Structure 1
Amino acid sequence: MASNAMDVDDNSSTTTAAANGRQQGAIMNGNSALKDTHHEMSDDDDLPLSQTTRSDAASLPSRNLKRKKPVYAETSSDDDTPLASSPAKPRKSNGQTKVKQATSDTDNEYAPGDAPTKRRASNGRASKPPKKKVKEETDSGGDDKPTRATKRVPGRKGKLESDSAEEAPSLPPKKAASRKRVKEEEDSMEAPKPRKGRKTKKDESGSQSPTKAKGKKKDQKEEQQEDVFRWWENNPDPDGDGSIKWVTLEHNGVIFPPPYEPLPSGVKMKYNGSPVDLPPEAEEVAGFYAALLESDHAQDKTFNKNFFEDWKTVMKKHPPKDGTKITSFDLSEKAKKKAMTSEEKKAAKKAKDELEAKYTTCLLDGRKEKVGNFRAEPPGLFRGRGDHPKKGALKFRVRPEDITLNIGRDAPLPIPNMPGKWKAVTHDNTVTWLANWTENSNGNHKYVFLAAGSSLKGQSDMQKFEKARELKNHVDRIRQNYTADLRSKVMADRQRATAMYFIDKLALRAGNEKGEDEADTVGCCSLRCEHVTLESPDFIIFDFLGKDSIRYYNRVPVDAQVFKNIRIFKENKNDDDNLFDRVTTSSLNKHLTNEMKGLTAKVFRTFNASITFQSLLDQENLTNATLQEKLNAYNKANREVAILCNHQRSAPKTHDQSMEKMRYKHRSFKYERMKLRHALFKMDPKYKKNPKYKDDESDIDDDWVVEHEENMKAKEIEKAEKKFARENEKLEEDGGKPQKDSVLEGRISEIEEEFKRLAKERGTGKAVLKRERAEDKVVEAIDKLSDKIKAFKLQIVDRDAGKEVALGTSKINYLDPRITAAWCQIHDVPIEKIFSKTLVTKFPWAMEVEKDWKF
């Protein structure tokens, strides 16, 4: 059956654990350079999953096995003395346990006050986050009181002196004059009248010179560029303290998907070989599954079970019209919609664009800004990521009664494009979301925000990276403090210091507690004993499912004291017990805030990614390098950071085919150069002695040449046939007579004669060019082809190296875009070669950075 559902999250990305095995990612003692180490494993079971897909990784059996007692090197150090044994008790307020919400650790980051942080009250409902920050209390509980005085580095407690205005993060230099002001000054200057019939353009000196009239599209593009709100020149607040985000806000809400259209009467689902007459409500849900029949989801037991349970619930309310009783589940056929013509597709797209036009933008403080995800999600089946227990569950259709709007007080209330009234309307100008609702299948909160290139998103991004840059001024002191705490006599302090060590050195996410109805993914604070294995003398093996059920596997050497601590933390615990049972994400982030204002574990991750990336780029000597060599160096550094952050994906299913096509194209270039060389040798045999033109086509054998020339001949004949058909169509449109078939036959005959000549040249070392050229032109063509072949070879290497690494996530969320912008200026690389149009639009504030800027 045809599905009415849209594609949602792509579940194709999975793990490349081998990459984590190669990458240590440790930024030891302030050194931001990555260190690559390779370690051989003695047990096949401990090898990284180099080709594991996400679903494979997610389905790994739980390692609740009895561990053999490891053998450790004996030591006489006092650091192994027992620590405080009583568990840390939660603080109480008014007789109730005080719970602090953990900071969400997602890749998509929002400005302070924006984040859709899930706060569960006692009744299970989400409570509204506080608008103002509450002054944090100092914990003076008895259980965590040190048994002996510990020497501290000055500046640890209380307000830090280094948080003063003198050490505030540096913002991009403010321009002497804004583009708008410069334009006004230029317009006020007298200019000679342009000649009639011509438009004028301003040259670099500001004067006007005649030029040909440009098309409307280009004028519109220039106008759009001039309309960009240059918010970064208005001294944005780097702290993002949750203050007022807007004064006026007007938008049209969200657009709902169209109602379900029943399938034609002749299209039916078959059950036990017989067609079933389903009512539209049940038919729609069956269509959701039918759309996924050829995917991996249809082979998943949990997915099928959850779907069938929800579908039976729907069929109780809307049973088959013909009385068929469906007791088991097996869809044998997939309905196919009639293919649309290109004209119909264009017309449908045009109608859709016109319908959605008013939802794509909003008025923010009188400025038109683009809205991000303005569409309400269509109904469908929840796919989840990895081994999610609720995958396959039915996602209900979102209705106006489910949605809360956030809009200006004086703005007109939008009317939904389907019957119903909004659930609620609020006017909260301390947040930036425009609408939100709760998804039924998983209880997740969905938000509509402004587009990535909007001013509010840009300010949020800039604040995030400036906070990471500020950490440079504090990181040495913070590292000294947590290194001292690795030997603390208080268990909670020692565990917190060890967790900070991992977050700093390995860029691990902090991690949050998961409910029973969520995928079993963990971060640093939620690691269980089964996820960490000790290997003498000082190696730790991490093996767990991280965010999005991506497997994290890493064998890494650690500090001797960290090794001892992990051994102590695991004593007398089961595999499924928490490794850090005295540390939570909330307590860790509270401690980090005391170290530096606004510091969280996420800031560490952004800092380590960006400073490592800057260091790797600075290490490359790109003097006299070609453009492709520069791009390869950039991508190599990006890959190292992606491995550090565990941004993995499975190799695309078509990767091998794509690589084979690239290798074939590479050989084709070499074939062309071979023919040019042979033609040059025929012109002047002395070139044979020139090393520059020596044979460099060792991977082109006679069999491949025969195959290649046959392929070329087939393509030439096909091209001639298409050209002949187009010419006849044109003649008929003009009222003329079509050409005779003999014309086409003559052209094909010429092509065959040409390739017969090429066949005779095989093995002779001489060639005649189809079009006669001068000797110097042939030499020039050979040189160009040599450069092209070299660059294309680098592309092949780069493509293959990145097949299991996702480079986009770090570019979007973790790498300060100013690093890339400055690097491109230094090495004369067009920013478009690295950043997509979307990223250039997302980071306009970074594009004008000075070339000597450093993170």
Structure 2
Amino acid sequence: MSSSEDDTPLVKGRTENGVKSQDRIPRAVDEDMDKQLPSNGHVEPGVSIRMGPVEEMEVDPPAATNATGKRKARSSLTNGRTYKEESSSEDDKPINKRRRTSQQTKKAAPQDSDDEASDVPLVAIRKPPKVTAAQIGESSDSDTPLTEKLVKDKEKIEKAAAKEAKSIRSKEKAPPKRKQKVESESEDDVPLVAKKKPAPKRASNGVKKPKVESDSDVPLAKKAPAKKANAKGKAQAATPAKKGKAKAKAEQKTEEDNEAQEEEEEYRWWEDPGQGDGSKKWSTLEHSGVVFPPEYEPLPKNVKLIYDGVPVTLHKDAEEVATFYGSMLNSTVNVENPTFNKNFFEDFVAILDKTGHGKDKDGKTVKIKKFEKCDFKPIFEYFDAERAKKKALSAAEKKALKAEKEADEAPYMYCMWDGRKQKVGNFRVEPPGLFRGRGEHPKTGRVKKRVVPEQITINIGKEAKVPEPPAGHNWKEIKHDQTGTWLAMWQENINGAYKYVMLAANSDIKGQSDYKKFEKARELKKHIDTIRKDYRRDLKSEKMADRQRATAIYLIDQFALRAGNEKGEDEADTVGCCSLKYEHVTLKPPHFVIFDFLGKDSIRFYDEVQVDPQVFKNLKIFKKAPKTTGDDIFDRLTTSALNKHLNNYMAGLTAKVFRTYNASWTMARLLREMKVTGSIPEKVKEYNDANRQVAILCNHKRTVAAGHAGSIEKMQEKINGLVYQVWRTKQMMIDIDPKIKKKRGADFFARPEELDNEWVLQHIDALVEEQRQKITKKFEKENEKLKADGEKEMKPKELDERLKVAEDLGKKMRKEHKTGKVEAEGKGPTVEKMEANIEKLNQRIETMKVQMEDKEGNKEVALGTSKINYIDPRLTVVFSKKFNVPIERFFSKTLREKFDWAIKSVDQDWEF
């Protein structure tokens, strides 16, 4: 640092909360830093080179953090993955490669000779694996550096957003063409997206048009009621003639029709979102309470914990806790975790102290003091055997047990909410056990105590019958809180958090919450240009608080950082933007920033990003000495202050809305430019490619599953099996017409090199074993049916006879392999039939290759997080309808229920 900068006070000094910055930033500091910061002549803001090569060069000195010890390094997102260019023109492409690595040669950046950290290498940051240009979607012979492409994409997407925001505001301010009859259709009621092609009876966004077009700012309780929906979900016109017809039709309904519609008619609340936005959430509420886990059943007398080689008998309460640990010895990720073991044993000993520890066979007390002397294997073996017994039950027995459980829980599965039947979500009280937590939680291994009725508060209507607690117990309290959407609540003992029984995800209340969340993100479109303009201006503010706030909003908007909140000592050390510490941010001239910290769910957030030079300068100021490890970067900013500022632009706007907006807006732009063709799997892959870009944008990372490599290997084996089948079919063609080999050429009939002799023999054995398992399974199923019908079961001899088919198959294929000749199969085999079979097999091979490629590309990206929580589900529905892909390919049954409102409310022309 130069003397001028060093002599300029930027901090008040160290307080008990760390270093506090001065109120204002002297102009001399800005000017001095402007001279120090080198420029390459082109500003490249907002570009992530996620997981790119981190070279040992002159950077900020990285402080010793958890990143070097606890945190696990992550491999490249794009390893082995090829991405298609969205368009031949760079200017026409959306942001489609954000947060991908680059192998390009970096220009040597001029170093700041005055920087006190200039000779310290980057030793605390691990070097993630390098990737090739082809793996990140850039052709190896490309003349344009990837960062320049990303900059163009980034600039284009922000310009498009600004243009649309201005367009929306200008339309809202424009005077109406004709006099409006409905008084409520004010400026707030103008649709978020302008019409492209006028369509009768449709709003500009594609949603079937209710009487009031917008729900963004108008209190839901004040909205006009929606048109009634018929059984098919089509809005009925409000003309008297049609009303009369509908009434006549209703009167003609038979008794069977009425019984069929005994369940509530579909409530299309998204066309009438006037429910549930006020303080009063319900008028009447009835439910059956909660389901408690079964009481603990003691272990058999021959199964005991062994301490220091001695089997010990424990008190029932202590034995239950011992079973929590003993039953999960196969969960190595937990039982090999020192923190997990330490916390468990502390709680276990506390219970042992209360219950008198253990007794040996002579009744003498055995004090259990050391974890290392405890042997839980007998307990594990008992539970493992019990699990095997349960797994070995016949299908009929499993079905009977399931039916019995469903019958017992049936009364708890639904409640009556304002006279409407609604599904309840988590009506089961969590059983006792060991707390695992996410990531590196400091309380992992602690004992979760059994919840009793005396801890549970019930929320129910005043006129409703209060559910009976278990015999001999009472509820903690009965409430009639009409402002709450919970049915029951209690406080758990690990973190002191409150657990709530709520309605299921597919209920009206939950659906409306999702709907409003995505509508809030759509509303942000109107203001995004103003917000970006303002925070870019405040990046140069003389006021420290304003500059810190502007820098934080920049990082949240550009790199999808979470806002973050302060954590207590007993919580996992996870942070977000506002709670970033000195050691979480490493600066690398000219304007690269490396973030490395534990993010949500204790998952390591590691990203190397290219920022606006002014942002780089600001972060340097915020890190200026005497700040050091443990000090806040944004010491004059809190999450609540940030959200309060954002609320000035738009009611209800918080930092997290940016993530939803950016994810949905990016997906909408990609969807708008898509020209998808090909098979259903190919279309699904195109959708996943777009979803992957959004997931990378929002930093939705996940740890590579332990079984991923094995899963990919199995898929490759299936592909190889199909390739072998193609080879066999070609040999059948020779068997039908020996002359064809000369006509087509020997290469056409040659066996692929990767299918060597060893592989073929292993494949034949695998096919035989697969056939044996199928035959055995079918035999057992038929025997179960015979037993259930009271008929005589087949003897094992019958199974042996059937298994001969598998043995014969093995003999035949081994002979084929030995002789190189394959006899034609099927009725009336011809060359034409064989060629048709080869065509079908090749199609299956291509489909499986696409699926395998897709799976490999998704191994480190949590596509589900972005698809379910951040991308407006209506965009997925639009893709499904626009390209004729069944919605089942994107949403499971549970998600289809959760997003029922999205599936039924839009068509393929809807826009975010």
Instruction: Write the mapping of 1:138-537 to structure 2, written as runs, cut at 5 A.
Output: 164-167=187-190, 169=192, 172-174=207-209, 178-180=229-231, 227-236=265-274, 241-295=277-331, 296-319=333-356, 320-321=358-359, 322=363, 323-330=365-372, 331-334=374-377, 335=379, 336-337=382-383, 338=386, 339-340=389-390, 342=393, 345-417=398-470, 419-537=472-590
Per-residue deviation, residues 166-188 of structure 1 (Å, max 9, x unmatched): 45647732477612387996895
Whether contact under 8 Å (1:20, 1:552) holds in the other structure is no
For residues 724 and 448 of structure 1, the distance between their equivalents in structure 2, rounded to whole angstroms, comes to 45
Which residue of 827, 835, 842 corresponds with 1:779? 835
Which residue of 618, 635, 658 corresponds with 1:604? 658
Task: Classify 1:744/1:165 alpha carbon distance in 2 versus 1 (closer, same or farther; 3 Å).
Answer: closer
Q: Is the deviation greater in 776-785 or in 629-638?
A: 776-785
The one-letter code sitting in structure 1 at the alignment partner of 2:101 is H
Whether contact under 8 Å (2:736, 2:829) holds in the other structure is no
For residues 496 and 788 of structure 1, the distance between their equivalents in structure 2, rounded to whole angstroms, comes to 54
Aligned residue in 1 for 2:685: 632
For residues 265 and 636 of structure 2, the distance between their equivalents in structure 1, rounded to whole angstroms, comes to 53
The one-letter code sitting in structure 2 at the alignment partner of 1:313 is A
Offset, 1:293: 2.3
Task: Classify 1:566/1:284 alpha carbon distance in 2 versus 1 (closer, same or farther; 3 Å).
Answer: same
Provide structure 1 residue ranges, at least 5 long, that are not aligned to the other structure: 1-12, 52-152, 155-159, 202-218
Per-residue deviation, residues 314-345 of structure 1 (Å, max 9, x unmatched): 12221135311111123323321442452555
The one-letter code sitting in structure 1 at the alignment partner of 2:910 is W
Offset, 1:313: 1.8
Whether contact under 8 Å (1:453, 1:841) holds in the other structure is yes
The one-letter code sitting in structure 2 at the alignment partner of 1:342 is L
Task: Classify 1:357/1:651 alpha carbon distance in 2 versus 1 (closer, same or farther; 3 Å).
Answer: same
Task: Classify 1:813/1:282 alpha carbon distance in 2 versus 1 (closer, same or farther; 3 Å).
Answer: same
Task: Classify 1:326/1:622 alpha carbon distance in 2 versus 1 (closer, same or farther; 3 Å).
Answer: same
Question: Is 1:583 matched with 2:633?
Answer: no
Whether contact under 8 Å (1:231, 1:455) holds in the other structure is yes
Instruction: Write the mapping of 1:760-771 to structure 2, written as runs, cut at 5 A.
Output: 760-762=818-820, 768-769=824-825, 771=827
3-state SS of the aligned residue for 2:666?
helix
The one-letter code sitting in structure 2 at the alignment partner of 1:637 is A
3-state SS of the aligned residue for 2:853?
helix
For residues 256 and 741 of structure 2, the distance between their equivalents in structure 1, rounded to whole angstroms, comes to 52
Question: Is 1:18 matched with 2:76?
Answer: yes
Which residue of 795, 798, 806 corresponds with 2:851? 795
Question: Is 1:35 matched with 2:98?
Answer: yes
Per-residue deviation, residues 67-97 of structure 1 (Å, max 9, x unmatched): xxxxxxxxxxxxxxxxxxxxxxxxxxxxxxx
Whether contact under 8 Å (1:236, 1:459) holds in the other structure is no
For residues 883 and 474 of structure 2, the distance between their equivalents in structure 1, rounded to whole angstroms, comes to 56
The aligned length equals: 706
Offset, 1:643: 2.2
Offset, 1:511: 0.4
3-state SS of the aligned residue for 1:594?
coil
Task: Classify 1:525/1:745 alpha carbon distance in 2 versus 1 (closer, same or farther; 3 Å).
Answer: closer
Task: Classify 1:481/1:744 alpha carbon distance in 2 versus 1 (closer, same or farther; 3 Å).
Answer: closer
Which residue of 618, 622, 636 corresponds with 2:672? 618
Offset, 1:826: 0.7
Which residue of 784, 788, 812 corresponds with 1:754? 812
Offset, 1:522: 0.1
Per-residue deviation, residues 261-290 of structure 1 (Å, max 9, x unmatched): 111122111111111111101111111111
Offset, 1:38: 2.3
Aligned residue in 2 for 1:815: 871
3-state SS of the aligned residue for 2:475?
coil
For residues 718 and 598 of structure 1, the distance between their equivalents in structure 2, rounded to whole angstroms, comes to 59
Offset, 1:854: 1.6
For residues 35 and 740 of structure 1, the distance between their equivalents in structure 2, rounded to whole angstroms, comes to 61
Task: Classify 1:500/1:167 alpha carbon distance in 2 versus 1 (closer, same or farther; 3 Å).
Answer: farther
Question: Is 1:830 matched with 2:853?
Answer: no
3-state SS of the aligned residue for 2:648?
helix
Q: Is the deviation greater in 373-382 or in 317-326?
A: 317-326
The one-letter code sitting in structure 2 at the alignment partner of 1:481 is D
Whether contact under 8 Å (1:32, 1:611) holds in the other structure is no
Whether contact under 8 Å (2:264, 2:421) holds in the other structure is no
For residues 725 and 277 of structure 1, the distance between their equivalents in structure 2, rounded to whole angstroms, comes to 42
The one-letter code sitting in structure 2 at the alignment partner of 1:834 is F
Offset, 1:390: 1.8
Offset, 1:372: 0.5
Q: Is the deviation greater in 274-283 or in 338-347?
A: 338-347
Which residue of 113, 116, 125 corresponds with 1:46? 125
Aligned residue in 1 for 2:764: 709
For residues 737 and 546 of structure 1, the distance between their equivalents in structure 2, rounded to whole angstroms, comes to 60
Offset, 1:742: 9.6
The TM-score normalised by the length of structure 2 is 0.70
Whether contact under 8 Å (1:15, 1:804) holds in the other structure is no
Which residue of 650, 653, 659 corresponds with 2:706? 653
Aligned residue in 1 for 2:861: 805
Per-residue deviation, residues 767-790 of structure 1 (Å, max 9, x unmatched): 523554234332222211111110
Offset, 1:47: 3.7
Offset, 1:193: 14
Q: Is the deviation greater in 272-281 or in 175-184?
A: 175-184
Aligned residue in 2 for 1:678: 731
The one-letter code sitting in structure 2 at the alignment partner of 1:233 is E
For residues 742 and 305 of structure 1, the distance between their equivalents in structure 2, rounded to whole angstroms, comes to 54
Whether contact under 8 Å (2:764, 2:814) holds in the other structure is no
Task: Classify 1:333/1:536 alpha carbon distance in 2 versus 1 (closer, same or farther; 3 Å).
Answer: same
The one-letter code sitting in structure 2 at the alignment partner of 1:231 is W
The one-letter code sitting in structure 2 at the alignment partner of 1:292 is M
For residues 623 and 499 of structure 2, the distance between their equivalents in structure 1, rounded to whole angstroms, comes to 39
Aligned residue in 2 for 1:141: none
Offset, 1:500: 0.1
Per-residue deviation, residues 288-311 of structure 1 (Å, max 9, x unmatched): 111232322222222222222222
Whether contact under 8 Å (1:617, 1:633) holds in the other structure is no
Offset, 1:347: 4.3
Whether contact under 8 Å (1:647, 1:806) holds in the other structure is yes
The one-letter code sitting in structure 1 at the alignment partner of 2:297 is E
Percent identity, please.
Answer: 46
Task: Classify 1:768/1:265 alpha carbon distance in 2 versus 1 (closer, same or farther; 3 Å).
Answer: same
Per-residue deviation, residues 638-678 of structure 1 (Å, max 9, x unmatched): 22222222222222222222111111100111111222223
Q: Is the deviation greater in 372-381 or in 416-425?
A: 416-425
3-state SS of the aligned residue for 1:180?
coil
For residues 522 and 346 of structure 1, the distance between their equivalents in structure 2, rounded to whole angstroms, comes to 46
Task: Classify 1:693/1:628 alpha carbon distance in 2 versus 1 (closer, same or farther; 3 Å).
Answer: farther
Per-residue deviation, residues 97-134 of structure 1 (Å, max 9, x unmatched): xxxxxxxxxxxxxxxxxxxxxxxxxxxxxxxxxxxxxx
3-state SS of the aligned residue for 1:820?
helix
